[in-house]
């Protein structure tokens, strides 16, 4: 008999793809985003219902496995961390998943969320979740897993929770593969015609930072800390106090971003020439910020003859582009050899062994440096093991959905270890292009 599963918070259908390949049948799915719900029906031939809050447990068909990647924003370090107090997205586990489990009592459960849910509210959130599942009759195990552990070049750590109504001593988490051979080029196409290109301003910015990197002596290691060029020539106070707690006259004795004198200005104008991170109203900067400021000023002092000629050009960049994060250790100093992200925290340069985590934020979409383009939706789908389904036509919508999806291959591997009743199994493989995309 074919086992049946339900797909709650279905999104693009990562759980569906992973479970179907194991031979299981989806008998119910829900997704409150109407665009994704319609696409789910198109891809899988099953009507996708709306918000689970509006659905009675008795209206959901009987099932053997409950799958749910419930909303992570209330528990993520990147969000407001309201947890269960978030009335819009934070109560889905305690109010909806729990009531469905209580009513249907499926034998197996597979849940997915951000790793920080384990630490949220000093582990109080996790205590509520684990105790609730225990009360509902489930023995559970949990583990932090990422696609890069299983042959897919994307670092995307997520907490997986597996449970069974019965003994779970048999369960073993899927075995990792050799991560040393991974490279993002394995899932990239060569110069795809639908790729979004970098604009002229972005290219000019990359060229400027490349000239700076080229001028730093080869025997001088590029900083492992973020380069904050606003600290070049700056000397505003940052240890014992902060600019916010300096009176106008005192602050006028110092220099702000790129050495701009703050003398003769009112406090409002002085703030215009300070880095954004130095404007916050706090009596003392946190230690990590003090360390970054100190290291950047030391780096500038040691390389002043090289860096000073670039100050004018750097000061004309948007604030977030005035920062560079070199995450390539001692790799070849060619920015275009790597993956690039224009983030709010700065321009991040990363090696090609793993793609950064696909996220909802559009500014963090990886850029293929050697082709001066963003990754395409097809390539992003391969990073989520979802290349077999149709995606939203709108590229921004598609990338946002992929950033919110669960990786189908990881689901597949987790489930095949959990579910003892064997079905006909089709392996989940991530498509690798015939030829590696060249530099």
Catalytic residues: 72
> Concatenated DSSP letters for 327-360?
ESTTS-S-GGGSEEEEETTEEEEE-SSSBPPP-S
**SS3 category, 126:** helix
Cα(198)–Cα(372) distance, integer angstroms: 6
The residue whose two tokens read 């050899």 is 337
What does the block give as tokens for 174?
């899927």
Half-sphere exposure of 264 (CA within 13 A, CB side): 2
Lay out the sheet containing 373-374: strands in order across. 227-228, 323-327, 346-350, 339-343, 367-368, 373-374
**SS3 category, 439:** coil
> Concatenated DSSP letters for 395-411?
HHHHHHHHHTPPPHHHH
Residues near 255 by beta carbon (within 8 Å), at least 6 away in sequence: 233, 234, 235, 236, 261, 262
Cα(136)–Cα(66) distance, integer angstroms: 13
Cα distance from N-terminal residue to C-terminal residue, the chain: 51
Cα(183)–Cα(174) distance, integer angstroms: 21
The answer to whether the CB of 347 falls within 8 A of the CB of 325 is yes
The answer to whether the CB of 419 falls within 8 A of the CB of 170 is no
């Amino acid at each position: 008999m074919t086992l049946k599963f339900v797909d709650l918070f279905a999104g693009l259908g990562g759980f569906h793809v992973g479970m179907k390949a194991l031979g299981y049948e989806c008998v119910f799915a829900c997704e409150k985003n109407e665009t994704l719900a319609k696409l789910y029906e198109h891809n899988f031939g099953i009507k996708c219902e709306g918000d689970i809050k509006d659905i009675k447990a008795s209206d959901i068909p009987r099932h053997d496995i409950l799958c749910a990647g419930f909303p992570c924003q209330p528990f993520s370090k990147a969000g407001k961390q309201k947890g269960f107090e978030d009335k819009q997205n934070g109560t889905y586990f305690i109010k909806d998943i729990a009531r469905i489990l209580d009513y249907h009592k499926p034998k197996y459960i597979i849940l997915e969320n951000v790793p920080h849910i384990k630490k949220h509210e000093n582990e109080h959130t996790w205590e509520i979740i684990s105790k609730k599942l225990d009360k509902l009759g489930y023995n559970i195990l949990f583990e932090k897993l990422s696609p890069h552990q299983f042959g897919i070049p994307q670092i995307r750590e997520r907490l997986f929770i597996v449970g069974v109504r019965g003994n779970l001593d048999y369960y073993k988490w899927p075995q990792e593969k050799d991560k040393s051979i991974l490279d993002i080029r394995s899932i990239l196409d060569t110069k795809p015609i639908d790729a979004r290109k970098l604009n002229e301003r972005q290219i000019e910015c990359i060229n400027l930072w490349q000239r700076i990197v080229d001028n730093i002596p080869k025997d001088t290691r590029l900083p492992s800390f973020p380069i904050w060029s606003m600290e070049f020539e700056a000397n505003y106070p940052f240890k014992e106090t902060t600019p916010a707690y300096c009176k106008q006259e005192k602050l006028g004795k110092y220099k702000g971003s790129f050495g701009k004198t703050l003398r003769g200005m009112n406090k409002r104008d002085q703030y215009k020439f300070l880095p954004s991170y130095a404007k916050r109203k706090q009596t003392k900067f946190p230690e990590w910020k003090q360390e970054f400021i100190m290291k950047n000023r030391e780096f500038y002092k040691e390389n002043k003859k090289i860096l000073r000629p670039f100050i004018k050009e750097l000061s004309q960049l948007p604030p977030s582009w005035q920062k560079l994060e070199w995450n390539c250790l001692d790799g070849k100093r060619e920015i275009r050899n790597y993956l690039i992200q224009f983030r709010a925290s700065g321009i991040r340069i990363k090696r090609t062994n793993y793609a950064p985590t696909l996220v909802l934020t559009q500014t963090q979409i990886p850029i293929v440096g050697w082709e001066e383009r963003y990754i395409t939706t097809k390539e992003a789908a391969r990073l989520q093991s979802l290349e077999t389904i149709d995606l939203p036509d709108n590229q921004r919508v598609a990338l946002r959905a992929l950033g919110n999806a669960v990786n189908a291959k990881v689901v597949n591997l987790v489930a095949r270890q959990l579910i003892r009743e064997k079905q006909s199994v089709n392996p989940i493989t991530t498509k690798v292009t015939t030829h590696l995309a060249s530099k």
